[in-house]
Amino acid sequence: MPAILIAMALFFGTINPNFWSVTNLGNVARQISVLALISIGQTFAILSAGIDLSVGSLLALVSVVCAQAMLDFGLVAGIVIGVLAGCLVGLINGILIAKAKVPAFIATLGMLVAARGLALTLSGGLPIAGLPHAFMMIGAGYWGPIPIPAVIAAVSFIVAFFVLSRTRFGRYVYAMGSNEEAAVLSGINVAKYKILVYVVSGMFAGIAGVVLTSRVISGQPTLGEVQELYSIAAVVIGGGKITGGVGGIGRTLMGVLILAMLSNGLNLIQVSSYIQNIVVGVIIVLAVYIDLAREQRR
């Protein structure tokens, strides 16, 4: 995968030297951050042999809640309530999946539809404008040369990396995904950790929703359409196994980078957005095929 990434970067850079400009690298970093954040949550869900289809709609719901709370209670409260809204939806997903035993695909599919409906209901379908200008810092600001959204995504990646590789919770996520029965038999409280997985996914969607709200400096009920599918694509392109147990934060990062670089690079070398869709589709299937072929050779 890293080889593909480098080859892509060289290719785009040769055709349009602006690809390597500081402005554009900042661009890629900023454009990547929302997908990166929801893909982190998706990694937890898929590793545990589940899936979270609700994250795209959740971006819209968080955006609306965050914007309205910000207008009513101020900037910091808006951000906090936005992230909490994400966690709360994750908690509901988790309880439905772990306690009510609704399959993850169905529970989060239901949430995908319902969260979008709730976002539209709360906002009346209209954007919520008039947010404080200072809030734009999160989406448009810089920390040195690095865009703030990228900083948030990078910190999240590091934290998630440690959680998955160095904590008990992380090991349990892998254990549940590899063999849930074995996990139960070895005394892991699977229900509890499953719920936690979806709270984590909801939380990252919450953070992503706040970042996106800042980027568009308004609450938008139509944000994030089909983003859940791109987050799944990022996980599997990186080499995560869709049935769980195999994968990790580093691989997901690779998948996110490939997707973001593709879309930005193809825009810069002026390939039509229709052809871009074809390319992305082919790459998703190809990446998984290569992985499978390699596994069989072993």
The residues that touch another protein, with contacts defined as CB under 8 A, are 16, 18, 21, 23-24, 27, 30-31, 34, 125-127, 129-130, 136, 139-140, 212, 214-218, 220-225, 263-264, 267-268, 270-273
Please state the closest distance from residue 38 (CB atom) to another protein, in A: 12
Please state the closest distance from residue 42 (CB atom) to another protein, in A: 17
Q: Smaller CB distance to another protein: residue 24 or 54?
A: 24
Please state the closest distance from residue 279 (CB atom) to another protein, in A: 15
Q: Smaller CB distance to another protein: residue 186 or 222?
A: 222
SS (H, E, C) the chain: CHHHHHHHHHHHHHHCHHHHCHHHHHHHHHHHHHHHHHHHHHHHHHHCCCCCCCHHHHHHHHHHHHHHHHHHHCHHHHHHHHHHHHHHHHHHHHHHHHCCCCCHHHHHHHHHHHHHHHHHHHHCCCCECCCCHHHHHHHHCEECCEEHHHHHHHHHHHHHHHHHHHCHHHHHHHHHHHCHHHHHHCCCCHHHHHHHHHHHHHHHHHHHHHHHHHHHCCECCCCCCCHHHHHHHHHHHHCCCCCCCCCCHHHHHHHHHHHHHHHHHHHHCCCCHHHHHHHHHHHHHHHHHHHHHHHHHC
Query: Do 173 and 48 meet the contact criterion of CB atoms below 8 Å apart?
Result: yes
Please state the closest distance from residue 227 (CB atom) to another protein, in A: 8
Please state the closest distance from residue 41 (CB atom) to another protein, in A: 18
Please state the closest distance from residue 159 (CB atom) to another protein, in A: 24
Q: Smaller CB distance to another protein: residue 106 or 278?
A: 278
Q: Smaller CB distance to another protein: residue 203 or 223?
A: 223
Please state the closest distance from residue 274 (CB atom) to another protein, in A: 9
Q: Which residues contact 103 (CB under 8 A, 6 or more apart)?
A: 97
Please state the closest distance from residue 57 (CB atom) to another protein, in A: 12
Query: Looking at beta carbons, which pairs linking 78-81 to residues 24 or more positions away fall under 8 Å?
Result: 78/131, 78/135, 79/138, 79/210
Q: Smaller CB distance to another protein: residue 94 or 221?
A: 221
